[in-house]
Structure 1
């Protein structure tokens, strides 16, 4: 009668606990340099990643080598090439800041390591219920192959000294632009921010926005985007330089706003303008806001390629990014100003206090002012919109 009890005890001892498993990860990660391929076009983000590297080195003996990308597809292409060459271990990419169609491409081609998110101790601070923002990337279920690290929302920024009542919808924007020719523009649609502006307009104008949650067919794309192109045809002549040329990215557009060349900028970070004011890059009179019907929002993720040379170190980085103290620092507008991905209901009193103590700014919209978060369309819409826009307006 005692044998089953003894066997059960042995089995219980033989199974490693979660803590023991994470200790093994930390041990293996010590001394590793994680090659994090991440967009390098924002100085605040670059500084934050450098700070994270210093902190990780001091705590865990893990450092980050920031491979600065202008386009995430650069890293994806590298992993694809390594797989084609038979390089299944020791890959050059350990971690990727990734979203949308790039994630979908890697997932479909079996280029991701995992699932790993459930193995991160700080995942307890996330809402990982089915369909939550932390588990869906541009309508694609992440299934534990991506770990969230920052929250984004589309906002428009205006100089309130010049524009007291900004347009609160894309229809109102058309009216405003026609009355103020040359005072509004958007980044080139080949740039993520320019494409996001068109997606925001598409959601507001689409006859049936629910169709945007599925991959577009020729039929649905034609029908759903028809109002978008009609609206844009009317808007384009009133844009800066008659819509014949566009700023390269949101940073250039922000500088144009600061110089008084245009009256609006845009960002996928509600705190971007407040942070720019803090750094003296925009006047105190700027304000950011979301359209009255809500704005596109999503979570930025990190993923680990299947052949990463330093998987353990990459997991340590991903876990560190979810630490409430790290998230609070990231949300500080004097540092990064990136909204937290953590579930407030999962935070303790001390952790909540760190967020409550963060500095504010007149340029920073409140969560209430941001209003409803609109779901990102399926990645196929962004690809086809950019292609169609180029065909219609640049060829």
Structure 2
């Protein structure tokens, strides 16, 4: 009888262990209160309910800190790290891949990967993905203005004219912030031409950028606070726009304008616009560190985030407004209509305009040359 009771207790204990909640530490940029709220109040709640996974969002201000953390852990031989999932792209992905600190072939167990656009699985800022990361969303750099009157500028020449005619009403984040870096790259591309930059050697690019630094120094006295200081982040620039201190803001999230209007933070007339030669377009990704403790659970989190449900929730302006990485031809008609309805409104460029004006990201090496050049020739002057 005692053996029977012990057997039952063992089954109960084992059954309880099988239902034990697993925690996934997701390291990601924490500079957007809307994104943070979405991850905590929507995604984390759904994962806990449906997968019994506790998503612990670990906010970071600079992804390079986490990149360095993973590299140092590998060098120290640490096989059980604290990072289970990381949100990355571009130069940070290349550095992690080179250091061999990412789990390989993470898409092999993902049921929803078959719905993802194959083009997003090939390269990240020119670097071959090789199964080390999974796309999470699409982004295209865009500007936002108050929507009254004509678009403030369509190219670098009109921007020069605009800032001189409206002193103190325009600025951009410093280049060490990813939004500031993207703005500077966009203007460099507008001045020099994308194909020209792409065909230049790194040394040629350094030499040719002087005309770009002359341009930025010429507009500097007409910027907010006469260019003596720059907003440290996109969020700070958004606040200046909300408060009416500047008339233009910017960022990679296309539906941000709709999201901010819905939240009552932007004027109802606000609209998004692009440069006539186009703006930078990229995908952002999720990766699993090779020394992560909860790889299986991290894969389940990724699979949910790239599901039709997860992507629709993410594209809703009230949550994030990010564009989906799913292939519409792989979805049913009802799903396609839902996605389509989220990007068709008077505050945004049309999908045709967006596709027409997509400019590929530069290589990480050339990106760093531009950032360094701005710091040495504009930011420190």
Normalised by the size of structure 2, how large is the TM-score?
0.90
Unpaired segments ≥5 residues, structure 1: 1-26
Q: Find 2:211's aligned residue among 211, 214, 227.
A: 227
Quote the residue 2:190 is aligned against.
Answer: 204
| Residues 196 and 114 of structure 1: CA distance in aligned 2, closer, same or farther (over 3 Å) | same
C-alpha distance 117-239 of structure 1, shift in aligned 2 (>3 A): same
Map of 1:246 onto structure 2: 230
Residues 4-54 of structure 1 show CA distances to partners (whole Å, capped at 9, x for unaligned) of xxxxxxxxxxxxxxxxxxxxxxx9997321100001111121122112111
* 1:166 has 2:152 as partner: yes
Q: Report the alpha carbon displacement of residue 160 of structure 1 after superposing the two structures with TM.
A: 2.2
The alignment partner of 2:209 has SS state of helix
Q: Distance in 1 between matches of 2:194 and 2:182?
A: 19
Deviation digits for residues 97-119 of structure 1, max 9, x if unmatched?
A: 00111100000010110121243
Displacement after TM superposition at 1:359 (Å):
7.7
In structure 1, C-alpha distance between the alignment counterparts of 2:68 and 2:19, rounded to whole Å: 26
Which of 140, 155, 161 aligns to 2:127? It is 140
Q: CA deviation at 1:298?
A: 0.6
1:275 counterpart = 2:259: yes
1:100 is matched with 90
Which stretch of structure 1 is more off in the superposition, 317-326 or 110-119? 110-119
3-state SS of 1:119 partner: coil
Cα 1:63–1:181, aligned 2, differ >3 Å: closer, same or farther? same
State the Cα deviation string for residues 342-383 of structure 1 (Å, max 9, x = none).
111111223213324548543233212333210000012222
The Cα of 1:80 is off from its aligned counterpart by: 1.3
Q: How far apart, CA to CA, are the structure 2 residues paired with 1:148 and 1:235?
A: 37
- The answer to whether 1:375 aligns with 2:360 is yes
Deviation at 1:237, TM superposition (A): 2.1
In structure 2, the CA distance between the partners of 1:152 and 1:28, relative to structure 1 (3 Å rule), is farther
Change (3 A) 1:359 1:153: closer
| Aligned residue in 1 for 2:370 | 385
- Residues 229-238 or 361-370, more deviating: 361-370
For 2:193 and 2:343, locate their aligned partners in 1 and report how far apart those are by CA, in whole Å.
41
Q: Find out whether 1:117 has 2:107 as its counterpart.
A: yes
- RMSD between aligned residues: 2.0
- Give the aligned partner of residue 13 of structure 1: none
Displacement, 1:69?
0.6
Name the CA distance, whole Å, in 1 between partners of 2:348 and 2:34.
16
Q: Which residue of 2 aligns with 1:82?
A: 73
> 3-state DSSP class of the match of 2:153?
coil
Query: Does the CA-based 8 Å contact 1:112-1:304 persist in structure 2?
Result: yes
- Check whether the contact 1:333–1:359 (CA below 8 A) recurs between aligned residues: no
Give 1:181 shift: 1.7
Q: Say if 1:139 and 1:213, in contact at 8 Å, map to a contact too.
A: no
Give the C-alpha shift of residue 228 in structure 1. 1.6
Pair 1:384–1:356, CA change in 2 (3 A): closer
Pair 123,103 (structure 1): closer, same or farther in 2 beyond 3 Å: same
| Matched residue, 1:15 | none
Q: Distance in 2 between matches of 1:57 and 1:349?
A: 29
Q: Count matched residues.
A: 362
Distance 2:199 2:69 in 1: 29
What is the CA-CA distance between 1:171 and the residue it aligns to? 2.0
Once residues 91 and 162 of structure 2 are traced to their aligned partners in structure 1, the CA distance between those partners, rounded to angstroms, is 33
Specify whether residues 374 and 394 from structure 1 end up closer, same or farther in structure 2 by C-alpha distance, changes over 3 A only: closer
In the other structure, the counterpart of 1:265 is 249
TM-score normalised according to structure 1 size: 0.87
Does 2:172 align with 1:182? no
2:314 aligned residue: 330
**Structure 2 CA distance, aligned partners of 1:113 and 1:213?**
33
User: 2: CA distance between counterparts of 1:359 and 1:133?
Assistant: 20
From 275, 278, 281, the equivalent of 1:297 is 281
Q: Do 2:103 and 2:132's aligned partners in 1 also have CA atoms closer than 8 Å?
A: yes
Q: Is the 8 A contact 1:30 1:60 kept in 2?
A: no
Gaps of 5+ in 2: 1-16
Matching residue of 1:21: none
